[in-house]
A and B are shown apart, each in its own frame.
Chain A
């Protein structure tokens, strides 16, 4: 169990910055997910916390202790890797026992803890096998076990499910969630998969180009994205963004005038999630649109629609037998609209 505090952590290689000064606190027992596209600096941050990389500046605090100068083994953290990183020459039992052997535990207690961990993760029948004889899911289970076996105070995950097939990924995701629910070990989890982030994290930190763009609970970051990057990175299909010019507190879209812009005039970007757009019979506040293409998502369909002055993606039930070229009517205004500054992309709170 541990509280982690990162103060102004930055990393640069020569003149190129991999990580801008970043501060983040992870409370005891919390599950924080670092989410972002590849190359955004999230793995760099994770390795700095583990002690595998030295930050160019900034401080890492673990339980009120400054650990910048501490080697990884003195930090008592466990790390689960994307490619499992099991020791190929050791059996599953040998892999599980290794962190305990290194710490010089007595043989009897090593054996007992290996057995307990194997039972916890359903690995009993695999103990004598070598990693090369396991499937990807089994290998990652062993890696989880190797991290869990010594009850570290901090769990670090580096894209642990990215190499697995969809079914195994979902199964292990549930397993990680239930392990965390049971043991409440403080966790920092790196992924580029928003489903993992939103299902696992008690808080999510979105990163882009070495900077944390927003930190919040999954609901917060999804419902009130701080900027257009967060707005489009979360949600699939991504949020529609429509640049508009506002005049006298209103705007024109799809040939109709609308009220309710958050500013009196200027340039703003309007955001609306595809699933909030509904098809209705034509009326005074529907926009007429043409179906350009459609993508079946299984139960739902993503429609690419063109209005007279913009294009939108709407996610609707596929009970409607629509074909490209059809004309539909979109209800407007939808329940939730997001507004962003046209230049900075930062969120503008909607008018009350």
Chain B
């Protein structure tokens, strides 16, 4: 096939992918701007010709105290990100650079927990948090990230630290660092691309999580944005255009964050000081 043909096919494939990812978003926006009462069947042309921008303030008002919801969601997301980054990078460092008895077995066990679906551990985990008296607090949303982190991210950090080679860690230790100091002063700054990636994924996952808040949070003053979105559905008369307007509002910070960090996320850093 000619180079031109290859380019054409590639463009077509990318257009198809872009369509698959963008269509739901486009649909969400078009429904969120249509007049009340059309349900999901309204045409985007009608919405474009006569956009009902007032759906947005209405949706916001119907969510309740959106400032409180935003504050709760931000608090949980930011603490989860911080906890996840610290725990996963520390565990990854230990599995990559600290020698201790049973290390490889322990690492295999950590990885094995990836095979267990979250739903399978939901009930024991709930019982555990109930025993600890943490139901209807942010504890169950944050503690798992702070105390365990995700095995997959531990794995990512471990691979990244292994790829840096043993000498940097040896140099740090001979220069006077213990393991903690070496992790904090040398390995963590070098892992910036990993920190951005893991941080972004964690933020998005926590921000968008409905399952955990739904299980643990009952008081309205502890509610999160996703819970508020879900409650649109539960009300007797679902106003689709308001629900999707609210969804668009909740989604906006995620998109903004992604596009701000995208360059960092993709650029990475060149680790050029060590010649292999």
Contact = CB atoms under 8 A, between A and B. Distances in A.
Contacts of A73: 173-178
B167 to A, nearest CB: 4
Interface residues of B, number: 25
A146 B171 CA distance: 10
Interface in A197-220: none
B175 A102 contact: yes
B275 A88 contact: no
Contacts of B185: 98, 102
Interface in B136-189: 165, 167-168, 170-178, 181, 185-186, 189
B170 A85 contact: yes
B1 interface: no
B181 A89 contact: no
A88 B171 contact: no
B174 A83 contact: no
Contact of A79 (B170, B181, B189, B276): B170
How big is the A interface, by class? 20 to 34
A160 interface: no
A156 B175 CA distance: 12
B196 interface: no
B167 A83 contact: yes
B205 to A, nearest CB: 28
A136 B178 CA distance: 28
A132 B165 CA distance: 16
A85 B121 CA distance: 44
Interface stretch (B83-91, B122-130, B266-274): B266-274
A86 B271 CA distance: 10
Interface in A228-281: none
Given A52-B170, A89-B189, A83 B176 contact: no
Given A86-B171, A132-B273, A139-B273, 4 more contacts: A79-B170, A83-B165, A85-B168, A139-B275
10 contacts: A79-B171, A84-B275, A87-B168, A88-B273, A89-B269, A102-B181, A130-B273, A146-B171, A146-B175, A163-B275
Interface of A: 47, 50-52, 71-73, 77-79, 81, 83-89, 98-99, 102-103, 130-132, 136, 139, 146, 150, 156, 163
